[in-house]
Amino acid sequence: MRRRNLLAIHKVEEFAEWAEGEGYVREKTKGIYEVLRLRRNPVCVPLIFYKKDGAKEHVTVYGGGTVLVHRYLRQLKR
């Protein structure tokens, strides 16, 4: 399932730094729509975050990425 209103574009860099602290490694993005690609270990499928063409506020988050973003957002509220 995808979520288009979960992670604000201006929070992507902060989120990526937080995810690196959680053991994820940032990888080089592919294509013009990817804004972030994270992988926990070389065997796992990467978590990919996209910017929809014309999107001004949020990036699109899929599958396991939504769980990670929810953890990040919960920690922000503390």
Where exactly are the structural domains of the chain? 2-77
Cα(27)–Cα(42) distance, integer angstroms: 11
pTM: 0.91
Cα(29)–Cα(38) distance, integer angstroms: 9
Please give the CATH number for the structural domain made up of 2-77. 3.30.310
pLDDT at 36 over 90: yes
What local confidence, expressed as pLDDT, does residue 50 receive?
94
Mean pLDDT of 21-30: 96
> What DSSP string describes 28-70?
---TTTEEEEEESSTTSPPEEEE--TT-SSEEEEETHHHHHHH
Mean pLDDT of 48-55: 88
Mean pLDDT of 53-62: 88
